[in-house]
Every structure is written in C-alpha cells, then in structure tokens.
Structure 1
Amino acid sequence: MIHNGIEYHTYDELKPIAIQVLRQRILDKQTKYSRYIGDINKMDFNKQDIGIELKNLGYNKKRIMKDGIRKLYHYKS
C-alpha cells in the first residue's frame, strides 16, 4: 500500500522475508538459536523474533486509519 508517497507493508507480507533472514543467521551461527540441532525449515519462530528481525532490517511500525479501521503497517526508513 502506498500512502503519502511511502510504501507500507503488512506483517503478513514481511513475515517470509524475516523468516528467511533468521534461518540464514542460524546457519551462520549469529543468533540465540545457533545451537539448534534440527531441521531449520521446520523451525517455528514467534512474533517477537520476527518483529526484532524486521527492526534489524530497517522497518519501522506505524498505525494508519483507513476506512475507519486502524491497522499496523511497516515501512522502510
């Protein structure tokens, strides 16, 4: 969604990107999950881990009201 010239994304759109980066960091042993001994493709990340990763990727959060409904969107700073 583009609002006032800024492109906004929902959490569901950015979740696969954050999970892919988290899995790569696990393989590079750069996260708290670096001792995980299993198939990382089956690993489930919680919403907090994904939110922290989105912040590390440079996304900020903003609530925007559209059609009377306030939703949370992420934008790249």
Structure 2
Amino acid sequence: MKVATKFALAFLACGVLSVVVYSYVAANREVSRMERTASEDLAAVGRTLTPALMSVWMHEGEEHAIELVEV
C-alpha cells in the first residue's frame, strides 16, 4: 500500500473514532440532563400541589386527599 493510502485510512479512522467518542459523551450528558430535569419537574409539582392537598385533607379528610394523589 502506498503511504498516501495508509495516511488517508489512518486519518479516516481517527475521524470516525472522534465522532464515536463525541457521540457517546454527548448522549451521556443529555441523559443526565433529562434525569435532572425530570427530578426538578417532579419536585416542582410536589411543591405546587402540597397546599391544595393539605386544604383537601383538612376540609374533606385523609381518604379524599389520598384518592386525589392516586389518580
């Protein structure tokens, strides 16, 4: 094989390897971001619903409040 062909194949292999590594890192970063966002969203829902559920619990009882949460 000529030197130019070997150089071209090595260059191509390095390029493919770079794309694979970058894709892996980007995918892991995105998964972490999605998990963090989901956790933050669930916490926000909990903070938002707490006063309403406490009101239902105080006025209509524990059973009705639990029914609302289970739905």
Verify same fold: TM over 0.5: no
Write 1 or 2 for the structure with the bigger share of helix: 2
**Which of the pair has more CA radius of gyration?**
2
- TM-score norm. by structure 2 comes to 0.30
Provide TM-score, normalisation by structure 1: 0.28
User: Relative contact order: is structure 1 or structure 2 higher (C-alpha 8 Å, sep ≥ 6)?
Assistant: 1
